[in-house]
Amino acid sequence: MAHVSHTNTAKLAGYGVEGGMHLVLELSEKRSLASVLYGFKEKLPWSIRQRIALGTAEGILYLHEGCQRRIIHRNIKAANILLTDDFKPQICDFGLAKWLPENWNHRVTRFEGTFGFVTLRNK
């Protein structure tokens, strides 16, 4: 995780091992995308929604192709996208993440991740 460095991934500030592995991330002013989407009374303007979607996609592309040791997150959801004060998305929670092997392809052999976000064709 320490080698992950992209504007759209959460920054590792430290870690702890007492009582299990714990990662400490830099503060995210707006909390998660889920808290903004479901906790605010006002709806986000489409321009901000687009910025969040594109930034998240850029972060995923970095993890899959640009990272020194490529990573597949396996649990992208609104609760795992942190937002900075200017609504820049940062992917977090790499608990289900796996390193991608050098000869990785896009074929899925089994499902893993948060079940509530599964499309029917993946079942």
Q: Domains in the chain, start-ordered, CATH in brackets?
A: 12-122 (1.10.510.10)
Chain-wide mean pLDDT for the chain? 83
For the entire predicted model, the pTM comes to 0.76
pLDDT reported for residue 46 = 94
pLDDT of residue 19 exceeding 70, the answer is: yes
How many angstroms separate the CA atoms of 59 and 90, rounded? 7
pLDDT of residue 71: 85
Letter string b/e over residues 86-113, b meaning 16 or more CB atoms within 10 A of that residue's CB: ebbbbbbbbeebeebeeeeeeeeeeeee
Lowest mean pLDDT among 28-32, 60-64, 98-102: 98-102
- Residue range 103-107: average pLDDT? 61
Average pLDDT on 73-100 reads: 88
pLDDT for res 67: 87
Nearest Cα to 35, choosing from 92, 100, 114, 105? 92
Distance between CA atoms of 57 and 73, rounded to whole angstroms?
Answer: 12
**pLDDT over 60 at 106, yes or no:** no
Least confident piece of the model among 13-17, 51-55, 65-69, 101-105: 101-105
Whether 86 has a pLDDT exceeding 90, the answer reads: yes
Q: Which residue has the higher pLDDT, 72 or 113?
A: 72
Is the Cβ–Cβ distance between 25 and 10 less than 8 Å?
yes
